[in-house]
Amino acid sequence: SVAVGTMAIQGKVRLPNQAGAVGVWVSAVEMIDGQPNYDKQNGGNTAQDGSYAIGGLSSGKTYMLQTFVNEGMDQNSNVAGFTAADSVNVNYTGSLITQNFILKAATKTISGRMLRANGQPVANGRVAIMRQDKPSFTSATTNASGNYTAKVAGGKYEVRPDTFAEQGQAPP
């Protein structure tokens, strides 16, 4: 990952067995009047040991730190079957903050099938799965028949085709 500016927040994202979590996006979102302002956020993916660092934050601001499990973002990902850690608010005073996270075991399954308007399956397409009752996001990739399955924590989710396509993926 690449960080720009002074390192503001660093830490590790781990699995429950303490192994470093590979393929997790960690985001710092500026809070304004107690609400997240997604126009003002910085973040990056975890390294192979689960470490992350975020720079470019403004001193004197409160930030919500979130983890997003996305096993497809890194071919070495080991986060299948896990879901995001709870978000944490931190006050950045200009001094380096260390904030570690532990992912949770996923207990529920969301599955479905992505089809084009003509009824043909979308092979190797991306499905966005966003939790509605707290900050959390994951994604799944469809197989040749357009089927997908994702492990999630309990809660209310919005599931939709994701128009972002990785190399080798087909946009819906």
Instruction: For 69-88, write each residue's pLDDT tens digit.
Output: 865 556 678 887 888 888 99
Give the integer Cα–Cα distance in Å for 169 and 158.
21
d(CA 83, CA 104): 5
Q: What is the pLDDT of residues 45-55, one digit of tens each?
A: 999 999 999 99
pLDDT confidence tier of residue 1, bands split at 50, 70 and 90: very low
